[in-house]
Structure 1
């Protein structure tokens, strides 16, 4: 091996740079969530060795339909359905352990046994306590008619504890329990002082977490080391399942009506501890129309009649909360912005079949303010006031496409809609979802 000169003239070995050939595949929502990420993750996980959650908590809701069984996942990666795939809950996730074990119980009751046998949880993931959830609800109530529409699952308060450095992590729980107990008491006291109406049964909670400690301990690992070891094996196929979506990202979304984590591609690196150079294909999940839950701007929102029609046809109710989703036309201004941030390799266009009965379909192609095209996504809610949308209108196909499995067999107008979406976003459509079940997919390439 050749040598080079050090700072004092001594010879130093010239080390060859070791390239990790492995790349992770990432699935990210391109809108306000509920795009159908679970469907794509389930499909890709069938050939994956590792599938990971990197951010968010049980405010996420991913649905996978297998035969006559419907699985709703909130903390568990959707890849848990695959028996030969290891599921990872990374350091960027916040975990409510009672809800976590309840989700495992409900999943196993549907016949998917042995979930814990193929699951690892990061020792660095922060814990969501019941008082985080209660504080979330109290905070929402205090906003009155200006509430953000959170799920009240305690996600924001848990990330707040993380940021103020008084939070507790999974590793704290499974480590020295005496230290955990002292820190838990301090954190509970902090919340009771901040929220005078909040009553926390501290000693009862400590007893409960001593039991939860024994249940979670067998699957707790240093997932940073786990992931990087997997990356050193080029044959390992690694999939990352993003929760929430681009327009709910704490930095890039429609702030403040957003979630409390980074749901864009950067959250993959910080939420799993993997290098940026190991990011491979990034697939955006795009619903064939647009939905969002809760308050906040929605430039392409339907009128009330069409809103009710599409909500009913598309079963647009939140997986986590059951709340009705607001519905609107596809917004490609938003999608181009999502592509700008995430760099999509391709997209899956889901729920195309929900548009089957419409005689014509609109696509929002530009935002207008004071009669002029706005060349960016507004960063403040007040910038959306009096915002107009420029649309193009395309003919519908008014044909049931749920049984179609080849692109060439789609009605011409449906094909045209897909191709127009590709053209407007500047990203190829690789898959099309035409129904709920895992096999209701058209693959284009």
Structure 2
């Protein structure tokens, strides 16, 4: 019997690809055999470059996971570049089984795809193993298909405790985090006392490093206490984790760049969204990483010139979870209707999402920052039945002065007035439509008006939760 391949490579060494790794090629068909919808899908997918990023353009929850899941069939590698278990992606397999993923890239449902958790992420190992166990129990093979960066930071259970203590400290000014420990973990990363996945290779020094981390936390938060017993229990737990994680640990910077050199197709799955970016979002009501296009490079260690296409995912309306300004928010019956029709409850937290009209000012701002080549407009079907649909096309001050771009000043954001453009709605159920030309005329006018306002084409239109409920334009 041949020896099993080593899946715990030395630094700089590329791990072996699983036997199923290989680019998926859609079967060709003659023009006569192929429907117009199938032809549009084939042309659109074949037009994508070697390295493609899928990023959120609002406050998250736009439906990125579904597009990644669909596109992954044509890619060799799907990678996460930032964030952690605060990013919830809901995807469905070919049998309609629902999976809620947080750390594992959505491409895992496609058996030909290698999944990478990059250096820019923060990894909660109990959560990661829970996801892997759930996938495996539902027949999704993970062995040899998930690579975890040795440079990624470890997120511990006590980080989640600190997250809650920090929110309690803020009182009525709380940020509304997922309380998954993301902020405290990134804080340790940036003050340079965090632990990384590579530290699991050196358990002889792991205890001392973790002790320093927990001691600092106890000094900062009066409500956080630990003892030598709890420290030992945590170290013992991570000794077991280190053994199990061993086959997954990889120098993913080397892996990603080798994949680019070997012309493998790479899909990058963003978490959260640009309006939650630590620099560009509604600070401080943001996440602790960079879910905009720059985060792809820093979170995976690939050069900007390697990225060929960036797809921005945007809902046909706007939602956000947690605190912070929301200029187009609807607080009445229409907002409640969107929430109910769109099943707007957080994948990670279950919290009801705040709903409002599509904010074109915020969308244009995000498009400028990211340089999208196309957009994926999701949940267009949720707007069915509305007699009138509005687009928030500009902001102005109380005295009527136009604001040219999305402002950083939160006080100004809380006071601005939104100028809306009203468009006629449609009554038809569009959830089974696959050809763009079969959409109601008013639905097409809505899509085309968005394209006109942001000057970026909408190439993908979601009309339902399933894999097949996507129109290629």
TM tier relative to shorter chain: over 0.9
The 2-side partners of 1:202 and 1:141 are apart by 25
| 1:64 paired residue number | 91
| 1:355 paired residue number | 383
| 1:11 paired residue number | none
TM-score (normalised: structure 2): 0.88
| 2:32 paired residue number | none
Alignment of 1:42 with 2:76, yes or no, is no
Q: SS of the counterpart of 2:126? A: helix
Alignment of 1:327 with 2:350, yes or no, is no
Per-residue deviation, 1:23: 3.9
Per-residue deviation, 1:261: 0.1
| 2:31 paired residue number | none
| 1:137 paired residue number | 164
| 1:15 paired residue number | none
| 2:213 paired residue number | 187
2:336 to 294, 297, 308: 308
The 2-side partners of 1:104 and 1:218 are apart by 13
Deviation track 1:346-393 (CA, whole Å, cap 9, x = no partner) reads 001000000001000000000011201101211021111320001100
Per-residue deviation, 1:410: 0.4
| 1:164 paired residue number | 191
Per-residue deviation, 1:110: 2.4
What is the aligned-residue RMSD (CA, Å)? 0.9
| 2:394 paired residue number | 366
Contact 1:227 1:274 in 2 (8 A): yes
List aligned pairs for 1:20-99, cutoff 5 A: 23-66=50-93, 67-99=95-127
List aligned pairs for 1:291-306, cutoff 5 A: 291-306=319-334
Per-residue deviation, 1:196: 2.3
| 1:152 paired residue number | 179
1:344 to 372, 395, 398: 372
Deviation track 1:113-143 (CA, whole Å, cap 9, x = no partner) reads x213201000000000111110000000111
Task: Say how many residue pairs are matched.
Answer: 420
The 2-side partners of 1:367 and 1:30 are apart by 18
Per-residue deviation, 1:338: 0.6
The 1-side partners of 2:414 and 2:239 are apart by 51
The 1-side partners of 2:425 and 2:453 are apart by 18
| 1:244 paired residue number | 272
The 2-side partners of 1:276 and 1:54 are apart by 14
Per-residue deviation, 1:259: 0.2
The 1-side partners of 2:460 and 2:406 are apart by 27
Per-residue deviation, 1:185: 1.1
Contact 1:69 1:110 in 2 (8 A): no
Contact 1:55 1:242 in 2 (8 A): yes
The 1-side partners of 2:219 and 2:242 are apart by 27
The 1-side partners of 2:450 and 2:354 are apart by 21
Gaps of 5+ in 2: 1-48
- Shifted more, 152-161 versus 373-382: the winner is 373-382
Per-residue deviation, 1:111: 2.4
| 2:451 paired residue number | 422
Alignment of 1:288 with 2:323, yes or no, is no
Q: SS of the counterpart of 2:257? A: helix
Per-residue deviation, 1:233: 1.3
Deviation track 1:160-205 (CA, whole Å, cap 9, x = no partner) reads 00001100000011x2211111111111111112112212311110
Contact 2:396 2:418 in 1 (8 A): yes
The 2-side partners of 1:295 and 1:194 are apart by 24
Per-residue deviation, 1:108: 2.1
Q: SS of the counterpart of 2:381? A: helix
Per-residue deviation, 1:68: 2.7
The 2-side partners of 1:312 and 1:271 are apart by 35
Q: SS of the counterpart of 2:415? A: coil
TM-score (normalised: structure 1): 0.93
The 2-side partners of 1:78 and 1:202 are apart by 34
| 1:197 paired residue number | 223
Per-residue deviation, 1:219: 1.0
The 2-side partners of 1:209 and 1:257 are apart by 32
Q: SS of the counterpart of 2:179? A: coil
Gaps of 5+ in 1: 1-21
Alignment of 1:441 with 2:467, yes or no, is no
Contact 1:31 1:286 in 2 (8 A): yes
Contact 2:338 2:355 in 1 (8 A): yes
Deviation track 1:50-98 (CA, whole Å, cap 9, x = no partner) reads 0000000000001112233101110000001111110000000000101
